[in-house]
Amino acid sequence: MPDNKYKQIVILSGKGGTGKTTIATAFAEIISEKIIIDADVDAANMHLVLNHKINLESDYFGGKKAEIILHKCSQCRLCESVCRFGAIKDFIVDKISCEGCGFCYNVCPDNAISFEETNAGKYFQCKLEEESNFYYAKLLAGEGNSGKLVSQLKKQADKKIDENIKWIIVDGPPGIGCPVNASLAGVNLVVIVTEPTQSGLHDLKRLIDLLKIFKIPSGVIINKYDINMEMSRTIEEFIQLEGIPLLAKINFEKNFVKAIQNSKSIIKYDSNFESMFRNIWMKIETIIKN
């Protein structure tokens, strides 16, 4: 575990739509001395509810892409035959299918293929209302390398760390693949947000198995707890057996949806929830200190 003055927490779920962003945003509102990162670079949502001002917008270069220079091409089709990604057809490179391996560029006997860095998205450095730094990104449609963009965001955020920073909160992507792995770098604790459904439990198990590989401690929030009490209890029993602490049980709250619909965090929309999230946060602090 990294030995820093600040602690880094990432919110994950495996399954999408369990309430990661709602909960990450609530934490962002109640704590200070923090940096906030939205690592769901495919479909970022935090910026829709956190009041922020964009200070700097940067292009993200995700890797190189091939392009055939037609007037140099002798139409031998060697490039087409070596491409494993089916990205070349009739002397045209499909930019979305191209994975930037450069095989065609290296193999072309006519030097007829250019291979240049291409823009794969944007990332934004922002200030929140109380001057905290907030980072999010927009990957272009169909692009790969989302893990690399997550790492890029975290690297940018690292530059702003000083002795006043106590917390880095990362809203993570769904799934258990490459952007999730990238979001886990340097993390002290994973807050897993799950829901009492068959798929919630199924995906929770896979996420916990992933965290075992990386040896990162976690705690669980069961959101929409009262949708299926029986399933909620199954989840509670499961995490108890795994030795993972339960951080909170949150009932299905219409106001969670209403808050998003009004482009507000749940804390700003209904201040009654503030004490609940402060209690959850206290539990997280206790776990991290031990």
Partner 1 sequence: MIISIASGKGGTGKTTVAASLSYVIPESVYIDCDVEEPNGHLLLNPKIINEEPVYKLIPNVNLYKCNFCNKCVDVCEYNALLNLRTSIFLFEELCHSCGACAYFCPQNAITEVKKEIGKIRSGMADNILFYDAYLKIGEESATPLIKQVKEVYKGSRTIIIDSPPGTSCSMFEAVKDSDYCILVTESTPFGLNDLKLAVNVLIQIGVPFGIVINKYDESFTKLEEYINGNDLNLLLKIPFRMDIAKCYSKGELPAAVTEDYRQMMVKLFAKVKKEIIEVKENA
96 touches partner 1 (CB under 8 A) = yes
Cα–Cα distance for residue pair 213/190, rounded to 1 Å: 13
Q: How far apart are the first and last CA of the chain?
A: 13
172 touches partner 1 (CB under 8 A) = no
Stretch that binds partner 1, among 138-146, 161-169, 235-243, 278-286 (CB under 8 A): 138-146
Phi first, then psi, for residue 179 (nearest 5°) are -65, -30
Site string for partner 1, 186-215 (x = CB under 8 A): ---------xxxxxx-xx--x--xx--x--
Residue 103, number of CB atoms within 10 A of its CB? 18
63 touches partner 1 (CB under 8 A) = yes
Note every long-range contact of 202-209, with CB atoms under 8 Å and residues 24 or more positions apart, other chains counting.
Answer: 202/15, 203/13, 203/14, 203/15, 204/13, 204/14, 204/15, 204/235, 204/238, 204/239, 205/238, 206/14, 206/176, 207/12, 207/13, 207/14, 207/176, 208/242, 208/244
Q: Tell the smallest beta-carbon distance from residue 182 to partner 1 (Å).
A: 9
Give 102 or 217: the residue with its C-beta nearer to partner 1.
102
Q: Tell the smallest beta-carbon distance from residue 288 to partner 1 (Å).
A: 25
Site string for partner 1, 99-118 (x = CB under 8 A): xxxxx--xx-----------
261 touches partner 1 (CB under 8 A) = yes
Q: Tell the smallest beta-carbon distance from residue 191 to partner 1 (Å).
A: 17
Residue 96, number of CB atoms within 10 A of its CB? 14
245 touches partner 1 (CB under 8 A) = no
30 touches partner 1 (CB under 8 A) = no
Give 138 or 283: the residue with its C-beta nearer to partner 1.
138
287 touches partner 1 (CB under 8 A) = no
Give 5 or 206: the residue with its C-beta nearer to partner 1.
206
Strands (E), 41-91: 52-68, 88-89
Strands 133-139 and 88-89: unpaired
Q: 169 to each of 77, 82, 132, 133, 155, how far by Cα in Å? A: 49, 44, 12, 11, 14
Q: Which of 29, 38, 67, 143 binds partner 1 (CB under 8 A)?
A: 143
Q: Where along the sequence are the contacts to partner 1 (CB under 8 A)?
A: 14-18, 21, 41-45, 48-49, 63-64, 82, 84-85, 96-97, 99-103, 106-107, 139, 141-147, 173-178, 181, 195-200, 202-203, 206, 209-210, 213, 227-228, 231, 257, 260-261, 263
